[in-house]
Structure 1
Amino acid sequence: MKRIHIVNGIILAFSVILVRYIDMHVYDMHIILNLLVLVGLIVGGMKIAERFPALDYDVSRKTGMIINTIVVLTIFLAFFVLELG
């Protein structure tokens, strides 16, 4: 597994959390606008991440599994702590 795949997963996760937080607590967006902002954040973040050549290296399977588990737990906790559910 390459580092870029892990970074893309982190970008996706935190984009969802950020857009959901804005939708719930800052500004009540229409679903289409919500999806457009989400897609824009994800695509923009991934395009920026592609510019870093250090992310082309491999990560061990164990490290990748640990980081993915932490990301999933962070999403889960964010929805409860920030009252997004």
Structure 2
Amino acid sequence: MKRKNLVNGIILAFSVVLIRFIDVRIYDMNLIVTLLILVALIYSAMRVVDRFPSLDEPVSKRASFVVNTFVIIAIFLAFFVFKL
């Protein structure tokens, strides 16, 4: 697995948490608007990640597993702490 794939997964996960937090706590958005903002945020962040050539290097399975585990735990904690 490449670092770029790992970073893209992190972007996907935390974009959903961020948009959900904004939707619940800051401003109640329409579903269509929420989805459009989410798609735009994910697309723009992934385009930025594509510009870094150092992210094309491979990652070990253990490092990938650890990062993915921390991301999943962070998502669950964010949803439970912020009551999203």
Same fold (TM over 0.5): yes
Quote the residue 2:61 is aligned against. Answer: 61
Whether 2:35 is the aligned partner of 1:35: answer yes
Using the size of structure 2 for normalisation, the TM-score is 0.98
- Could you list the per-position Cα deviations for residues 15-48 of structure 1 after superposition, in whole angstroms to 9, with x for gaps in the alignment? 0010000000110000000000000110010000
TM-superposed deviation, 1:57 = 0.1
Runs of 5+ consecutive residues of structure 1 not aligned to the other structure: none
**1:62, 1:37 → 2: CA distance?**
33
Letter in 2 for 1:26: I
Structure 2: where are the runs of 5+ without partners? Answer: none
* SS at 1:29 equivalent: coil
How far did 1:82 drift? 1.1
Give deviations 1:48-81, integer Å, cap 9, x for gaps.
0000011000000111011011101110110011
Normalising to structure 1: TM-score of the pair?
Answer: 0.97
Query: CA offset at residue 83 of structure 1?
Result: 1.3
Runs of 4+ in structure 1 deviating by more than 6 angstroms, as ranges, are none
- Percent identity among equivalent residues? 55
Spell out the pairing of 1:5-84 with structure 2 (5 A cutoff).
5-84=5-84
